[in-house]
Structure 1
Amino acid sequence: MANPNILLTRIDNRLIHGQVGVTWVNHLGANLVVVANDKVASDEVQQNLMDMVLPDTIQARYFTLQKTIDIIHNASPRQKIFLVVRDVQDALKLKEGGVPIDHINVGNMHYAEGKKQISSTVSVDDEDIEAFNKLSELGVELDLRKVPNERGQNIMELLNK
C-alpha cells in the first residue's frame, strides 16, 4: 500500500473558494482537490458551487471523513492531491485514521462566540487547541498562512502566547 501523493492539507472552513481553487492549487501544482467533510459529501449544491471556482483542468472529489480514510491509499501516484478540511477536528480524525498528514496549512477558522482570535483569519476554542496539540504530538507541522507567498507562522507558538 503506497502513500498517496498529498501535496498539502489545508484547514479552511470555507473549503474551496478563490484562494484555494486558484492560488493554492496553482502554487502546489495539484491536479486533484479532495474535500473531506461529512456534510459537503452529500450536498450536491455546495459541491457544484465549489466546482465552479476550480479551473477545468483540476478535479475535485467530496468524501466523508471515513471514506477518505478508507480510500486515500488507493490514489494513483500521478494524482497530486490537495486535501481540504473544514476544521482541525476533521484533520485530527483523518490523521488518527491513518491518512498520512505531515504538514497542515491553517488558513481560515472563523470567529464565533467562545473563540479567541489568534490571527486575522484564525479563531480557536479549547476544543480546537486540544486538537492542535494532539496533531503536534503526532508530529504534524502546523503552519498558519493565508496565501502561499506569505510568511507562515507556527500555530503552536501563537497558541502558547
Structure 2
Amino acid sequence: MPNILLTRIDNRLIHGQVGVTWVNHLGANLIVVANDEVAEDEVQQDLMDMVVPEVIGTRYFTIQRTVDIISNAAEDQLIFLVCRTPQDVLRLVEGGVPLKKVNIGNMHFSEGKQQVASTVSLDESDKEAFRKLHKLGVELEIRRVPDEKPEDILKFL
C-alpha cells in the first residue's frame, strides 16, 4: 500500500499553497502529479519544481503510469498526490489506486461551470465524477488551505 497522505484537485497543480503550505502541513516528502499533459511537458515541470523545497521530491506521471506504479512506492515515501480534475482522480480510483480522501482546492470558473465555492466551479461532468467517487467510498472536501474549515462538496451535487 502506498503512503498517500492526501490527494488534491487543483487546476494549477503545484504552486505555493501546494508546494509549501500543504506539504508542510501533511509532512509529505514526495509530490506526485498525475496528469497526462504535464507528464509530457518538461517546461511546466521545471516551473512547478521551482516552488517546491529541494528536500521534497517531485514526480510527474500520466494517469495510467500512476495506476501502474504507485503500489511500488517505498514505505518511507510520504506522498501528496495532485491532480488537475475530478475525472483524473476517478480514473485513478477506478484503476485501483487506494484513495480515501480527496481535497478539492481549486477548480477554475469557465463557460458552462457554476461557481459553488470561492475557488471551486463545477460542470455536470465534474459533478458526475464526484458522485462516482463518493459511491466508491472516497471522502470529498473543499478546502483551499489546511487551516480553513472543510466544506462538504456533496451539498452542491
- Fold shared, TM-score > 0.5 on shorter chain: yes
- Is the counterpart of residue 75 in structure 1 residue 70 in structure 2? no
State the distance in 2 between where 1:153 and 1:100 align. Answer: 22
Q: Name structure 1 gaps, 5 residues minimum.
A: none
- Is the counterpart of residue 23 in structure 1 residue 21 in structure 2? yes
Code of the residue aligned with 1:155 in structure 2: it is I
Counterpart among 33, 36, 42 of residue 34 in structure 2: 36
Structure 1 residues 12-46: Cα deviation after superposition (integer angstroms, max 9, x where no partner): 00000000000000000000000000000010000
Query: By how many angstroms is 1:158 displaced?
Result: 2.9
TM-score, normalised via structure 1 length = 0.97
Alignment of 1:106-145 (within 5 A): 106-145=104-143
Structure 1 residues 77-103: Cα deviation after superposition (integer angstroms, max 9, x where no partner): 100000000000000000000000010
TM-score, normalised via structure 2 length = 0.99
State the distance in 1 between where 2:117 and 2:149 align. Answer: 13
Q: Name structure 2 gaps, 5 residues minimum.
A: none
Code of the residue aligned with 1:127 in structure 2: it is S
Aligned residue pairs, count: 157
Code of the residue aligned with 1:118 in structure 2: it is V
Moved over 6 A (4+): none
Q: Say which SS state the counterpart of residue 114 (structure 1) adopts.
A: coil
Overall identity of the aligned pairs, in %: 67
Query: By how many angstroms is 1:49 displaced?
Result: 0.3
Match of 2:145 in 1: 147
- Report the aligned-residue RMSD: 0.5
State the distance in 2 between where 1:141 and 1:55 align. Answer: 29
